[in-house]
Structure 1
Amino acid sequence: MPLIETLARMEAAAAGAARPLATVRHRHLSEHPLVFVPLTTSGEAGAPLGALVGTDREKPLLLAVPQPRDRDLRFAFLAELADAVLPYVDGFADGIEWEERKETDPETGKKVPVQVELCADAPQLIVPSGAGIEFVRLMGRSMRFRRTAEQDPETPYPAPPHVPLLGRWFTHFGERAQVPGSCLLLSMTGLLTRHWATGQSALEDQHLGALLSWIDPPPGVSGRAAAERAESARDAEGQLLCPPAGPATDPAFDNRLLAPAMARYDAALPGAHEELRRLVEGQLRPTWDAVWQGNDLLRALPPGARVADRWKRDRWSYTAHRDRVRAGEPPQPKRDDAVTAARKLSSREAAQTQLDAQEALDDPLVMAARRLAGEAFAGTVTGVGMAYSEGARPMPRPLVTLRTDDRPQLSEGAKVHRPLPGGKTQPAAFVAYDDPASGSLTVRLTGGMGRGKVPEPGSVPEPGEAVCWTLFEHAPRGGPERPEPEDTPWTHGGPPATEPSGDAPDPMTAEDFL
């Protein structure tokens, strides 16, 4: 945990109210997100009990499973969920814009510009907490391989139409949620904890009601007191006033209300189904309202300058998966091959490095944390001396002296970078400390001044100007190219098998199945 976040948490605990960790919003928020609040049976994560889903804050769609042990009722729930989610997801598929990209010409092997489709917008799914994201991934894995009666008339327990398609989209959302900075699938607790620090633990922050109590407590009540009430206050019947919908249920609700209601449903008593729906809705509605309250708080923050660029990558991801679905490609495999897994890991590491750099450049408060860690420094220019490089064509290499109160982790010749207007970056190299006691140091500009013998106007900072340099790159590059699956060495699984092996597999026995 960064030191500045630790300090913010200590201040929040002392003051009884959350403290900001950002001055801008670092995640994209759709104008019309799809909010999904699931509820599962305790002890059985794959058995859905119900959900609230929709884009209308005042009119969510209630889905309930009166008996989660009944396979037919679970399939009916999935079919209703697919009918609610897929039209929203498909609603962005046909609004396109044209983008120019460079692709390799198969005949010449050279990069040539081509016009490709890019969806103008993409769907955004918001769940209450990180456990909701894991539930979406679990549902995707359980649905995408289901066979329908149209696909296989002889399959036992065929899935309703569109359920496998929903599984493919849920799997894609879950995969994108593992990419740092991606916004196709977001948890409200993750969004809020990125922008505010509370006086409770990270585990307690997963309770959306308690988290919101720290950030936006009722008038006249401290955040700590409001959070304690949200976590533990109960009514006269012993039920939580703020059910977590985490998506697991509260044991008191299970034992005192849910189990008797299910018993009445199993006995086919009149009104039992409607009673179960009311119980499920009562557990879900507080969390539904809390998600929208968090959405309002986040919208009050201005978006970061580079948020739109990251959302564009999500749009590319959505467009690519749309094309795979329309082309009739098979669902995502159960396990990635070695090359795909390495590419995913490399892309996520690069995305994390890029996200850290962009957030610091967008937000002075985040940059302050990098400065405190010695990864950046800010100061005032005290002098500029003109110098030139050695060689047949000398180029300007001005020496810039500045005074700073920061303590960057610099060594002689270390590369530093300064953000310029228009998203450009000016590189420099650390020369030496002139006076370590006063924080005076010198850097040598190595670029960003044009191609002439005289630096372009405004490209060299002037005495008295405030500047900020970073030790990290502003646009970090990715790693080396990964080989194609057919070129994978035998140490990583070898190329895909093209001919059946001479050794027959062991026959299936009863011990192979649970």
Structure 2
Amino acid sequence: MSLITTLARLEACRTGRAQPAATVRHRHLSERPLVFVPLTTAGEAGAPLGALVGTDRYAPRLLAVPQPRDRDLRFTFLAELADVVLPYLDAYTEDVEAAERNETDPETGKRVKVEVELCADAPQLIVPSRAGVDFVRLLGRSMRFRRTAEQDPEAPYPAPPRVPLLGRWLTHFGERARVPGSSLLPAMTDLLARHWATGQSTLEDQHLGALLAWIDPPDGSTGAEAALHAELARDPEGQLMCPPAGPATDPAFDNKLLAPAIERYDRARTALATAEDGPEADDRLGELTAAEREIRELVLSRTLPTWEKVWQGLDLLRALPDGAHVEERWTRDRWSFTAHRDRIVAGEPPQPRRDDAVTAANKLAAREREQARLEAQEALDDPLVMAGRRLSGEAFAGEVTDVVMAYSESKRPSPRPLVTVRTEDRPHLGERVRVYRSLGGKPQAAEFVGWEAEDLLVLRVVDKMGRGKEPEAGSVPEKGDQLCFTLFEHEQRGGPKLPDPQETPWTHGGPPGEAAAEAADPLTSEDVL
């Protein structure tokens, strides 16, 4: 946690209201996101109880599982979820635009630019909290290897069509959510906590109701009072008035309302199975329908408050202007979505249960690179974030007081102007340490020469001045300019190239004794878009 964030949290405690942690929005928000509020049963990971899902704020689709231990009912739930999610995803796969991508020529081995298709936009799936992201990942893992009756007629529990396809998409969204800066599968609590600092812990910020209570408390109440009410207030029946933002349920709800309702459903279903045809069967069918309706109403009562709070959070976030680099990060999400669409259309098998050593190393390196890029871009986009980097000595800002033209000592002298900057910051500078400023959206580097006085430092500009003997216009700071330099690079460099999986040593899964790859499931009509 940076010093500026700590100060903002202390200020939130003093004022009783969350303080801005950013002046711009650092994450992309779709014009038509798909909001998914899941609910699970206690004691069994991945057993869905129900969900609210949809793109219409005022008309969500309610899904419920009256008996979560029944596999058939679970698969019915997953099939209904696929009927909502897959058409939403398919709507983004047809509209494409031409884009260029660097690829290796198999004949020459050189990097060349090729024209490929890029989806013009990508879907966005929003869940209430970080636990919802984990649940989406778990659903994808449990669904993508399911066998359908078409694939295996003797499968003991054949999944309905399109369930494995949805599992592959959810797995991709879950993996993409681990990439810093990605917006394909954001959690609303993480989005809000990134842009506002509350007076509670980061763990307490995962309660969506408490987090919104700090950001927008009711009139006459402080954020702490409103958050406490959101966490603990119960109705006369002992049920939480603001249920947790899923997918877990409250024990009081499980014991007093849900368990009796499921028991009534089980009794009604057993009675219907043993009833004889005629009026008795009609009565038992009516009891079963009433029991199922009761469970659906219970699920709705637990998910609807969270559904409304997710949309309230979207309203708050949309009031913030976009950061300058948000669209660039969203373009990388579009490339990711397009690539997974192409893998499915090409008939590739589902994602493996475990990554090989090279794939895992590539994923880790990519996430580390994206984390560094995200931190740099947020600082460049947001003066409030940059203030935190300045307080930590990773950046400094000041006024240019003097510019002296100098040249390199070489056969072809190049301009190396000396720029004197007056600053009150205390950056961690050493001899010839490089610093960077943004010039036309590109980083311009300078070397630290030394301190002239307590608040005066001298820099030597070393690039982005053109190829002539005289610098191009606007490429050299002028006296009186207000500039901000960073000690961190604005663009992240790629790491070393990793070997192919077949070329790794046996300690990392390569030869000798290489294990045979799992046989891929046969391609069916349900596996393609």
TM-score, length-scaled by structure 2: 0.92
Q: Partners of 2:72 and 2:119 in 1: how far apart? A: 36
Name the residue aligned to 1:369.
388
Q: Partners of 1:142 and 1:491 in 2: how far apart? A: 29
Name the residue aligned to 2:297.
278
Q: Partners of 2:345 and 2:472 in 1: how far apart? A: 51
Name the residue aligned to 1:349.
368
For the residue of structure 2 that corresponds to 1:267, the secondary structure is: helix
Q: Partners of 2:257 and 2:516 in 1: how far apart? A: 57
For the residue of structure 2 that corresponds to 1:292, the secondary structure is: helix
Q: Partners of 2:249 and 2:507 in 1: how far apart? A: 46
Residue 389, structure 1, aligned to residue 408, structure 2 = yes
Is 2:42–2:248's contact at 8 Å kept on the other side of the alignment? yes
Q: Partners of 1:195 and 1:102 in 2: how far apart? A: 35
TM-fit CA distance, 1:110: 2.1
Residue 230, structure 1, aligned to residue 230, structure 2 = yes
Name the residue aligned to 2:486.
470
TM-fit CA distance, 1:224: 1.4
Q: Partners of 2:330 and 2:516 in 1: how far apart? A: 44
Map of 1:86-485 to 2, 5 A cutoff?
86-268=86-268, 269-270=287-288, 271-421=290-440, 423-436=441-454, 439-485=455-501
Distance 1:389 1:13, change over 3 A: same
Distance 1:66 1:496, change over 3 A: farther
Amino acid at match of 2:316: L
Q: Partners of 2:244 and 2:180 in 1: how far apart? A: 26
TM-score, length-scaled by structure 1: 0.95
For the residue of structure 2 that corresponds to 1:411, the secondary structure is: coil
Q: Partners of 1:102 and 1:175 in 2: how far apart? A: 24
Amino acid at match of 2:239: Q
Amino acid at match of 2:94: D
Distance 1:496 1:47, change over 3 A: farther
Distance 1:148 1:451, change over 3 A: same
TM-fit CA distance, 1:14: 1.3
Q: Partners of 1:156 and 1:452 in 2: how far apart? A: 75
Residue 30, structure 1, aligned to residue 48, structure 2 = no
Amino acid at match of 1:404: T
TM-fit CA distance, 1:102: 2.4
Distance 1:500 1:487, change over 3 A: closer
Is 1:97–1:120's contact at 8 Å kept on the other side of the alignment? yes
TM-fit CA distance, 1:8: 0.7
Name the residue aligned to 1:68.
68
Q: Deviations over 1:470-513 (max 9, x none)?
A: 00111111111111111112332224867979xxxxxxxxxxxx
For the residue of structure 2 that corresponds to 1:397, the secondary structure is: coil
Q: Partners of 1:74 and 1:500 in 2: how far apart? A: 33
Number of residue-to-residue matches in the alignment: 498
Q: Partners of 2:514 and 2:231 in 1: how far apart? A: 57
Distance 1:377 1:274, change over 3 A: same
TM-fit CA distance, 1:246: 2.3
Distance 1:309 1:495, change over 3 A: farther
Name the residue aligned to 1:39.
39
Is 1:485–1:496's contact at 8 Å kept on the other side of the alignment? no
Q: Kindly, what percent of the aligned residue pairs are identical? A: 71
Amino acid at match of 1:97: E
TM-fit CA distance, 1:240: 0.7
Name the residue aligned to 1:504.
none
For the residue of structure 2 that corresponds to 1:43, the secondary structure is: coil
Amino acid at match of 1:456: E
Is 2:34–2:126's contact at 8 Å kept on the other side of the alignment? yes
TM-fit CA distance, 1:260: 1.1
Is 2:126–2:187's contact at 8 Å kept on the other side of the alignment? yes
TM-fit CA distance, 1:99: 0.6
Is 1:385–1:400's contact at 8 Å kept on the other side of the alignment? yes
Distance 1:434 1:237, change over 3 A: same
Q: Deviations over 1:208-254 (max 9, x none)?
A: 01100100112232211111111111111111110114211011111
Q: Deviations over 1:273-313 (max 9, x none)?
A: 11111111000000000000000000000010110010000
Amino acid at match of 2:355: D
For the residue of structure 2 that corresponds to 1:45, the secondary structure is: coil
Amino acid at match of 1:431: V
Name the residue aligned to 2:506.
490
Q: Partners of 2:111 and 2:294 in 1: how far apart? A: 63
Q: Deviations over 1:299-358 (max 9, x none)?
A: 000010110010000000000000111111110000000000000000000000100111
Is 2:177–2:185's contact at 8 Å kept on the other side of the alignment? yes
Is 1:485–1:495's contact at 8 Å kept on the other side of the alignment? no
Is 1:207–1:246's contact at 8 Å kept on the other side of the alignment? no
Q: Partners of 1:98 and 1:276 in 2: how far apart? A: 49
Amino acid at match of 2:492: P
For the residue of structure 1 that corresponds to 2:101, the secondary structure is: strand
Q: Partners of 1:426 and 1:256 in 2: how far apart? A: 64
Q: Partners of 1:500 and 1:331 in 2: how far apart? A: 17
More divergent stretch after superposition (218-227 vs 327-336): 218-227
Q: Partners of 1:390 and 1:178 in 2: how far apart? A: 48
Q: Partners of 2:94 and 2:511 in 1: how far apart? A: 37
Q: Partners of 1:15 and 1:499 in 2: how far apart? A: 61
Q: Partners of 1:176 and 1:10 in 2: how far apart? A: 33
Structure 2 spans left out of the alignment, 5+ residues: 269-286, 518-529
Is 1:434–1:442's contact at 8 Å kept on the other side of the alignment? yes
TM-fit CA distance, 1:452: 1.1
Is 1:486–1:496's contact at 8 Å kept on the other side of the alignment? no
Q: Partners of 1:496 and 1:307 in 2: how far apart? A: 46
Q: Partners of 1:43 and 1:197 in 2: how far apart? A: 33
Q: Deviations over 1:159-192 (max 9, x none)?
A: 1100000100000000000000011101000000
Name the residue aligned to 1:48.
48
For the residue of structure 2 that corresponds to 1:87, the secondary structure is: helix
For the residue of structure 2 that corresponds to 1:186, the secondary structure is: coil
